[in-house]
Amino acid sequence: MNLRGLHLLLTYQCNYECEHCFVWGSPSQGGTMTLAQVREIYRQAQALGTVETIYLEGGEPFLYYPIMCRAAQEAAEMGFGVGIVTNNYWATSVEDALEWLRPLAGVLQDLSISTDLFHADEVVSAQARNALVAAEQLGISTGTLICESPLETVVNGDASQGDVVMYKGRAAVKLAQSVKERHPWHIFNECPYETLDDPGRVHVDCEGNLHLCQGITMGSLFERSLADLVSSYDPSAHPIVGPLLAGGPAALVQRYDLPHEATYVDACHLCYTVRETLRARFPDCLGPGQVYGAGLPRA
């Protein structure tokens, strides 16, 4: 396992509650990293010796702005390439966006701006435009993350465009029911998005959980060292990853003889739904509760 990137879920909390969110981001979510936890993650990443990049994500990391800034600065000082993923809520004007971003100038290699019709009433929101202009003025490289609306919504003349929605997390519950195009469950015989046998990057949350995909974990680096978890990772022996590599989400259904519907929107939809039924059986591999919307309304 050649781990080159760590994506820190700085918080599960978010000021938005988007229907396509992988981790059920919400104002009601709990779970935020402390600086001490961030530093321990960095220490272990440096000791591992292969990690090159650190991303700070959420939820919305700008909700914990001083901690995010310090985490970014310390990662850069340790020689990591640093990125941040944000929904830009804070960029209410170019002038204000400049103030928010100024401490990150010379620190960030990438500011990934999430903007689409799930966040606003136009694909590239006013806040996103402000953030992009401010970042350019400060010499911060940027990219946009745009998820395509599955319902082909058109608002203010802007058709959604960009990456397809993956139906895991809130999307599997909130969006899937409105999508008419479905496919037989048994055709989903591979994971189309993650390289589970040798992931180049994993997400890590405030409990230290290493997520191979959001909600599929390989242990906590606060319980076992990152180096130990990486060196001992055996994808074929993992109770969730093993079947997924052998035959995708359909193999999970077959391996554990699980009830299922006849059709699903995509592979993530089947995988997430199946994983929900397996959580009690494999609590060490399927969690934490935040990623499965525990305690949040589903109606």
| pLDDT by residue, tens only, the chain of 299 residues | 899 999 999 999 999 998 889 999 999 999 999 999 999 999 999 999 999 999 999 999 999 999 999 999 999 999 999 999 999 999 999 999 999 999 999 999 999 998 777 777 777 789 999 999 999 999 999 988 877 765 443 333 333 344 678 899 999 998 888 888 899 999 999 999 999 999 999 999 999 999 999 999 999 999 999 999 999 999 999 999 999 999 999 999 999 999 999 999 999 999 999 999 999 999 999 999 999 999 888 76
The pLDDT score that the predictor gives to residue 155 is 30
Task: State both tokens at 8.
Answer: 């820190």
Question: For residue 294, what are the CA distances in angstroms to 51, 158, 220?
Answer: 31, 34, 20
Residues 6+ apart with CB under 8 A from 193: 166, 213, 267, 268
Domain ranges of the chain: 5-178+198-228+285-292
Q: DSSP letter at 163?
A: B
Secondary element (H or E) of residue 219:
strand 216-220
DSSP state of 32: B
pLDDT of residue 299: 66
Q: Which fold has domain 5-178+198-228+285-292?
A: TIM Barrel (3.20.20)
User: Which is nearest to 96 in space by CA: 55, 61, 126?
Assistant: 126
Query: Residue 143 — φ and ψ, nearest 5°?
Result: -150, 160
Residue 118 Ramachandran class (φ > 0 left, ψ -120 to 50 alpha, else beta): alpha
d(CA 174, CA 170): 6
Question: What is the structure's pLDDT at 180?
Answer: 87
Whole-number pLDDT of residue 116? 72
Residue 147, pLDDT score: 73
Phi first, then psi, for residue 57 (nearest 5°) are: -135, -170
Distance of CA 280 to the CA centre of its chain: 23
**229 Cβ contact list (under 8 Å, min separation 6):** 210, 218, 219, 221
CA triple 275-58-123, angle to 5 deg: 95
Q: What pLDDT sits at residue 72? A: 98
pLDDT of the residue at 257: 97
132, 122 contact by CB (below 8 A) = no
Number of Cα atoms under 13 Å in the Cβ half of residue 296: 23
pTM: 0.92
